[in-house]
Amino acid sequence: MRRYVFGIVLVSMLVPAAAFCRDFDREDVERQMAMRDRDMEFQNRQAEMDIEREMQKLELEQRRLELERARAGVEDDDDEVNPLLLLLAVVHILVAIWVHMDIRQLNRGSGIWVVIALLAGLLGALVYAVVRLGDGRPAKS
């Protein structure tokens, strides 16, 4: 029985060793190494492309943010009062006040001239002055 067990142990030790020690074909090894090199090169290129794609995404996001900031800056400028518009509004109001005071001083005319002076500004006051001069009646004191 000991011989039988000893034989089985000896055979079980020699079979894997024989399978491991078989001659490998040198071309197969070189082909496998070449395949591994190609796989590594492919993985490196794929990683570089992924990095490049991520960089492009970041650049696009940065440009989008810059555009949003620029649009927000333009919108903020719209909120400011233009000094020229403010001056024109003041002139319209002063012309309307002058027309109103002149109408009250003469005790004639109507309030429509005040509205025209507010809307048309200096042009409305000029039309009022022409109509007033064309009336020919002297001013009352």
Alpha-carbon span 30 to 98, nearest angstrom: 104
Report yes or no: 89 and 78 within 8 Å, Cβ to Cβ: no
Four-CA torsion 21, 26, 32, 35, nearest 10 degrees: 170
Note the pLDDT of residue 67.
94
Alpha-carbon span 114 to 110, nearest angstrom: 8
Count of C-beta atoms within a 10 Å radius of residue 124: 20
Q: How confident is the model at residue 46 (pLDDT cuts 50, 70, 90)?
A: very high
Alpha-carbon span 69 to 75, nearest angstrom: 10
Q: How confident is the model at residue 25 (pLDDT cuts 50, 70, 90)?
A: confident
Mean of the pLDDT values across residues 81-107? 89
Note the pLDDT of residue 59.
95
pLDDT greater than 60 at residue 11: yes
Note the pLDDT of residue 51.
95
Count of C-beta atoms within a 10 Å radius of residue 125: 21
User: How far separated are the first and last CA of the chain, in Å rounded?
Assistant: 152
Q: What is the mean pLDDT of the chain?
A: 83
pLDDT greater than 70 at residue 19: no
| Secondary structure letter of residue 22 according to DSSP | S
Query: 0.75 exceeded by the pTM?
Result: no
| Secondary structure letter of residue 108 according to DSSP | -
Q: Which residue has the higher pLDDT, 77 or 126?
A: 126
